[in-house]
Amino acid sequence: MKLYSTNNKENIVDLKTAVLNGLAEDEGLFMPTKIPKMKKEFFENIEKLSFQEIAFEAAKQLLSEDISAKKLKQIIDEAINFDAPLVKLEEHIYCLELFHGPTLAFKDFGARFMSRLISYFNKEETLILVATSGDTGSAVAHGFYNIPGIKVVLLYPSAKVSQIQEQQLTTMGGNIQALEIKGNFDDCQTLVKQAITDPDLNKILNLSSANSINIARLIPQSFYYFYAYAQIKKINKKPLAICVPSGNFGNLTAGLIAKKMGLPIKKFIAATNANDPFPIFLQTGHFKPKDSVKTLSNAMDVGNPSNFVRILELYKFNLENIRKEIESKSYNDEKTLETMREVYQNSDYILDPHGAIGYMGIKDFVKNHNKYCGIFLETADPSKFTDIVNKAIGVNPPMPKRLKKCLDKEKKSIILSNQFNDLKTFLFRI
């Protein structure tokens, strides 16, 4: 696979360079020069394939120039060894559960695949920097835990992640270091980008990122869109719309890549919380980043989504073409709680606050477009947001044993300001 920088289409690199660097030297994001189409026969028989078989076929199409089929299969079998089941909630509305991995969030797909890809390419000690608003950090920490030659530094915004998320971030130990940043997620993300492109740091450190700015995160996330289609194909023949709860827009971008590969998703809905620059962009044609605001769906609290530029690239900056395939709407905390309560009462199903926003997005869409069936992504186990769930429905969600274990561990983190020089000083000493 050849990839170009979104800041300079002449800056073309191979997959290894893109994965290990994370970000281009010119601070652009890497994008494939060409997105290959899957064969027609693949989609005709997709419902007969397992999740791992589907992932392998999609990965081969993208990565066969860079990785042998044998090694690629090994990576997929190790990384994607848990399910992503489709659950029917009501007529023509389904939930794709993406929280059955080790850290109970969809980020497990990308983090586990990426850790093995970096390990495959890596020939020297590497420092992975990660900005997280909650689930990315714990997924990366678990995915990279004690992998030889790799250290991980997690940057998370102080007092802006759930207690359980913070425990998952700060209790791993080993080669994982958590930094509690005095600021918001956008500050953390800016610090990571600054560090990766800083010439002084790069003289002495081999730096990369495991955020969705790294293309290696997005490739495996495309796999579960194919798997969702394989499952829905057996039970519902209507045209398919998928709603993605969106923050940094990596998850949506992965779905769009799957669509470019031929996956017959007719419509995407990007549902956001109060951090709404993307819905405003679709309405006005102007993208204006905002300072992020704190909401109940904290993993989506992003006011300047990095992957917005990738969406523009996929559609060659054509606003009308974007509008034809993507709709977007924002929902506030009050509606989030109300929806969690209603779904629990009507379907006996517990949503987390991010899934609730996804449900609202697909519910509104299907109500206005009854020729479609709809899938929304449920991105995290509701037990990671016990306080919010209890506030909405009056009961605590069941907590998996592996989540209970981390609550008894001691939090270990270092508090830093949101100033780059402070991070730079810390990294020089690591």
- Strand pairing report for 93-97 and 86-90: antiparallel
Which is the catalytic residue, given 107, 160, 267, 363?
Answer: 107
Q: Which residues, including other chains, have CB under 8 Å from residue 376's CB and lie 6 or more apart?
A: 93, 94, 95, 96, 242, 243, 244, 245, 271, 355, 358, 359, 361, 362
207 by Cβ neighbours in 10 Å (0-12 / 13-18 / 19+) ranks as buried
Provide the residue type at 424 as one letter.
K
- The C-alpha atoms of residue 273 and residue 357 are separated, in whole angstroms, by 7
Q: Which residues, including other chains, have CB under 8 Å from residue 342's CB and lie 6 or more apart?
A: none
| Max CA distance (Å), the chain | 59
Provide the residue type at 178 as one letter.
A
Provide the residue type at 365 as one letter.
F
In the annotation, is 182 catalytic?
Answer: no
Q: Which residues, including other chains, have CB under 8 Å from residue 422's CB and lie 6 or more apart?
A: 416
* Phi then psi dihedrals of residue 249, to 5 deg: 70, 15
Cβ pair 191, 19 in contact under 8 A: no
Residue with tokens 């509690």: 180
Q: Which residues, including other chains, have CB under 8 Å from residue 75's CB and lie 6 or more apart?
A: 59, 67, 113, 116, 117, 120
* DSSP for 325-365, written as a single string: HEEEEE--HHHHHHHHHHHHHHH--PPPHHHHHHHHHHHHH
Q: Which residues, including other chains, have CB under 8 Å from residue 73's CB and lie 6 or more apart?
A: 56
- Strand pairing report for 2-5 and 326-330: unpaired
- The C-alpha atoms of residue 334 and residue 332 are separated, in whole angstroms, by 6
Residues with catalytic function = 107
